[in-house]
């Protein structure tokens, strides 16, 4: 797994590639925690290069959602492949977090009030 963070207009775009599983979720959670501790309230998870996500990866997303909701923040996911999209639908996460087809759509959604 590789994770890249880029901040633009108070939105952090996290691009995660590879596998987000039990092993890599530890690094992902630390990265997200650092971003949240810095005061970020808007995060776009860009999963264009994400091949696989496990329940440990879902836990990182859920932790982020809970933390940001308590701060009136927002989380959006974008660019999910068919497998990752199915995981979010089966787990019912798709009903609690916005998912867009592209990063541009995700960024636009995060800038809306």
Spatial separation of the C-alpha atoms in residues 1 and 47, rounded to whole Å: 11
The pLDDT confidence band at residue 3, using thresholds 50, 70 and 90, is: very high
Q: What is the pLDDT of residue 113?
A: 65
Domains of the chain by start residue, with CATH = 2-108 (3.30.750.24)
Question: pTM of the predicted model, to two decimals?
Answer: 0.95
Backbone angles phi, psi at 49, to 5 degrees: -105, 10
Buried b / exposed e over 4-43, threshold 16 CB at 10 Å, is eeeeeeebbbbbbeebbeeebbeebbebbeebbeeebbbb
Q: Kindly report, residue by residue over 19-33, the tens digit of the pLDDT.
A: 999 999 999 999 999
């Amino acid at each position: 797994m590789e994770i890249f963070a880029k901040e633009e207009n108070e939105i952090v775009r996290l691009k995660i590639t590879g596998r987000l599983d039990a092993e890599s979720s530890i690094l992902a959670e630390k990265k997200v925690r650092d971003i949240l501790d810095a005061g970020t309230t808007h995060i776009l998870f860009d999963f264009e290069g994400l091949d696989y996500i496990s329940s440990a990866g879902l836990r990182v997303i859920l932790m982020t959602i809970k933390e940001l909701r308590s701060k009136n923040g927002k989380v959006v996911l974008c660019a999910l492949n068919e497998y990752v999209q199915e995981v979010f639908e089966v787990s019912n996460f798709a009903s609690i977090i916005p998912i867009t087809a592209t990063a541009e759509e995700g960024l636009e959604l995060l800038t809306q009030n």
